[in-house]
Amino acid sequence: MTSRIDAGATSTITALVQQLREGRAPDAAALEIVRVTAALEAQLRQREADVAAAIKELESFSYSVSHDLRAPLSTIDGFSRLLEGASAKGDVERSKHYLQRLRLGVANINELIGALLVVSRLLRAPMNLHAVDLGALAQGAFAALQAAEPARLAQVDVQPGLIAQGDPALLKQLVDHLVGNAWKFSAKKDKTVVTVGSQPGAEGETVYFVRDQGAGFDMAHAEKLFGIFQRMHVSSDFPGIGAGLATVQRIVTRHGGKIWAEAAVEEGATVYFTLSGV
């Protein structure tokens, strides 16, 4: 987005230079030139950071396409060969089994591609900033999850007044993913305990968090947590393709914030994030 300084910087500096030439309030003009120049340099640094982030995203997508999509494609290729052999022998039962595995492979690819498209759209969608009640979003997400599993024993604590400035649709995705993860990774516990709240950050910013007492993870692998299709648990224990936290990370970044996590194996996890509302 072009800022007011972008649009008027050239004319402003030209006018200030002319003011210096004419000797009108030279000290004030010089200070204003320094201020405008500093503002332009800050914008340039931000845009350089945006370009670097975009390049990193492209590299991540390239890796995902070349690596993560290759596994299901290899599965499809292998079972298609087996299906060919079983069909040639007239083995109907084996043919049906291999056909089912082929369909699962295709479904897996469709799911991966869908996740990639969702993440890519987050980088391009326009932002509409409003005051958003993160607590109300969390309560709604938990209500839907509890309705789907009414027998699950759950204790959910949501701090009141969790108001943030951001895009309502994107922040709903963020909360849904974080709440959904806390719920999912608590499934093997006798009781699901989740807390959603906020705390002051080291620099006075508001730090929001979603904390659970579920499966947790080994912090030695924390650097993989927000990568696309990176999983901390095997799919047989907890289903999913590893795109949720990658989506969350991109939403937080689009809001000018930061995200990180703390966890211990079988002791739960806490995901922290900030939102600058830009």
Read off the tokens for 229: 């299709």
Region 2-17 average pLDDT:
59
Q: Is residue 135 part of a domain?
A: yes
Cα separation of 254 and 276, whole Å? Answer: 10
| Residue 239 structure tokens | 């289903």
pLDDT confidence bin for 233, thresholds 50/70/90: very low
Mean pLDDT (whole number) for 55-66: 62
pLDDT of residue 66: 61
Instruction: Mention every residue, 6+ apart, whose C-beta is less than 8 A from residue 221.
Output: 232
Q: What is the pLDDT of residues 173-222, one digit of tens each?
A: 899 989 998 999 898 899 999 999 999 998 889 999 999 999 888 788 66
Indicate if 43 and 150 belong to the same structural domain.
no
Task: Kindly state whether residue 278 falls inside one of the protein's structural domains.
Answer: no
258 contacts 274 by C-beta, under 8 angstroms = yes
Count of domains in the chain?
Answer: 3
User: In this structure, what DSSP letter does residue 126 have?
Assistant: P
- Same-domain status, 101 and 201: no
Q: Which of 42, 62, 82 is the last residue of a domain?
A: 62
**Model pLDDT, residue 230:** 53
End-to-end CA distance of the chain: 11
Confidence of residue 67 (pLDDT cuts 50, 70, 90): low
Name the percent of the chain lying above pLDDT 90. Answer: 28
Which helix (H) or strand (E) is 253 found in, with range?
A: helix 244-254
Residue 278 pLDDT greater than 80, yes or no = no
Query: Any idea what the CATH number is for the domain that residue 237 is in?
Result: 3.30.565.10
Whether the per-residue pLDDT at 142 is higher than 50: the answer is: yes
Same domain, 112 and 156: no
Do 225 and 253 reside in the same domain of the chain? yes
* Last-in-domain residue among 62, 79, 98: 62
Tell which wins on pLDDT, 165 or 13.
165
Q: Angle 186-187-192 (CA atoms, 0-180°, nearest 5)?
A: 50
Averaged over 102-109, what is the pLDDT? 80
**Could you give the CA distance from residue 41 to residue 47 in angstroms, rounded to a whole number?**
10
Say if residue 251 is in the same domain as residue 139.
yes
pLDDT band per the 50, 70, 90 thresholds, residue 30: confident
Considering 47, 62, 77, which residue would you say is the last residue of a domain?
62
Euclidean distance between CA atoms 6 and 27, whole angstroms: 24
Any domain includes 82: yes
Reduce the DSSP state of residue 137 to 3 states and report it. helix
Let me know if residue 225 belongs to a domain.
Answer: yes
The reply to whether 199 and 256 lie within a common domain is yes
Does residue 138 sit in the same domain as residue 118?
A: no
- 137 pLDDT above the threshold of 80: yes
pLDDT value at position 3? 43
Classify residue 169: in a domain, yes or no. yes
Percentage of the chain with pLDDT > 70? 73
Q: How far apart are CA 60 and CA 62, in angstroms?
A: 5
Grade residue 159 by pLDDT with cuts at 50, 70 and 90.
Answer: very high
Tell me the residue range of the domain where 101 lies. 69-122
94 and 50 belong to one structural domain: no
